[in-house]
Amino acid sequence: MRLFLPITTILIALALLIPGVTQPVLSMEGKIDKSKLAQAGIEMLADEGNQNTRNMLMMISSMLGLDKLEGEISAYQKTRSIWGTVNELADNKNYLVAILVAFFSIVIPTIKLLLQLFYCALKETSFKYKLGKVIIGLSKWSMVDVFVIALIVAYMAGNANANSEDLLNVHAEFGTGFWYFTGYCLFAIAASSLIKPVVKTS
């Protein structure tokens, strides 16, 4: 009965990890103001040294009402999950980063939770003590998965800023995957506090 709570906590953490990895973590959308876009077009067409051309284009723009345009145009939209980010990194030939993100945000958390589950089912044997050492070793990496989420947010924000050229208004919001992954982190921490492996000292 005393194992019911830690086992339940582990199972919930595992259940939350799957959508946390596969569902969108962050959505970013960039919109350009139509009047700013028209102004940028004039700046591109008019040579800096040719003031007459600039004045003529500004006059035409004013006559056509381009300087009074209202509304925005969607120019950049990206939604990514952790797994989607791994695939994108691999597609961009950032293989090492893709492997590290997958390893620390998918492989290590899954292995740790499964080992904790296995640990709860074992009787007191020397193997259980050895498994306890492994779990303690993996627990040292417990905050890396949170760091990975921060890296993904920074990565997507950097991509958006690189495409902005001061015209793009970027709006970002967390997706359902972020909240699932946050829930996984909380339950994983709770599981680690409930399961304290006993390690033999010689």
Does position 19 have pLDDT exceeding 90, yes or no? yes
Stretch (H or E) spanning 70: none
Dihedral angle computed from the Cα positions of residues 142, 147, 153 and 154, in that order, rounded to the nearest 10 degrees: -170
Cα gap 177→161, rounded to integer Å: 23
Would you say residue 179 has pLDDT above 60?
yes
The pTM assigned to this predicted structure is 0.69
Taking only Cα atoms into account, the Rg of the chain, rounded to an integer number of angstroms, comes to 26
Comparing 75-79, 93-97, 172-176, which segment has the lowest mean pLDDT? 75-79
Asked whether the predicted pLDDT for residue 25 surpasses 70, the reply is yes
- Take residue 177 and report the two structure tokens written for it: 């995957």
Q: Is the torsion defined by CA of 96, 101, 103, 106 positive or negative?
A: negative
Distance CA 167, CA 102 (A): 34
Nearest-5° Cα angle at 111, 183 to 13: 20
Residue 122 pLDDT: 81
From the list 185, 133, 130, the residue with the least C-alpha distance to 9 is 185
* 142-158 pLDDT, tens digit each: 656 666 666 666 666 65
